[in-house]
Amino acid sequence: MIDITSYSLGRPFPEERYISSQDSVVARITTHSFDVIVTLDNLTFEERKAMVSDKFYVSIFVHKQIPHVVFDFGVYKCNVSINIQKINSVNQQDWVYDKENTVTLYLLEPGTGNIINFRMIKFPLMTELKYLFRLQFSLTKETIDSRAKEAEQLYSVQEMENYSLFYGEVPESGIKIETTEEEYLF
């Protein structure tokens, strides 16, 4: 039997473990790639527009073999790392050599986990990122977690972006959000 998960705007994200009551950015492994789940409280119209439709930049910062993907939406910057040793849902070897480069960004409302919006992008640095993930095979999941946490304590998101090894651009989505902040209700 095939399990089909439904994702609908205004409805809770179907996997409860990704629902947070506070601001967070987490990666979720998919069969061939990954998703980025962003939970923001008091999301402004500009932040929503930047993530859903505007051009933005991605970069990869590496600290002790651990890549951190930095998203620069202009009005909001965040980073996320992935621990390759925690991937249980798919074969790790197949996953890191898969050529799929589609990443879905989800915007969630804190607490309820309602999907505010989402955007599918062709991730411009997937080849470089998956190469860096292959370097993690010799590390334990505890070591990866420790190094990822260390990087987040040592560097701000802006510093990670400044010291990144790779940069890429995601073009505008073609979706136009034309409403004022006063008209925008969650």
pLDDT of residue 173: 81
- What is the C-alpha to C-alpha distance for residues 133 and 103, in angstroms, rounded to an integer? 16
Tell whether the model's pLDDT for residue 184 goes beyond 50. no
Which range is most confident: 15-19, 30-34, 116-120, 151-155? 151-155
Average pLDDT over residues 144-154: 97
Mean pLDDT for the chain overall: 89
Q: Which distant-in-sequence residues (6+ apart) come within 8 Å of 128 by Cβ? A: 60, 165, 166
pLDDT of residue 4: 52
pLDDT-based confidence at 176, cuts 50/70/90? low
Residues in the chain: 186
Sign for the pseudo-dihedral over CA of 112, 104, 74, 84:
positive
| Higher-pLDDT residue of 179, 130 | 130
- What is the C-alpha to C-alpha distance for residues 119 and 53, in angstroms, rounded to an integer? 8
Residue 166 DSSP class: E
pLDDT in tens, 39-56: 988 888 888 888 889 999
Three-point CA angle 10, 116, 60, nearest 5°: 145
Q: Is the pTM of this model over 0.85?
A: yes
Share of the chain above pLDDT 90, in %: 66
| Higher-pLDDT residue of 56, 9 | 56
pLDDT-based confidence at 179, cuts 50/70/90? low
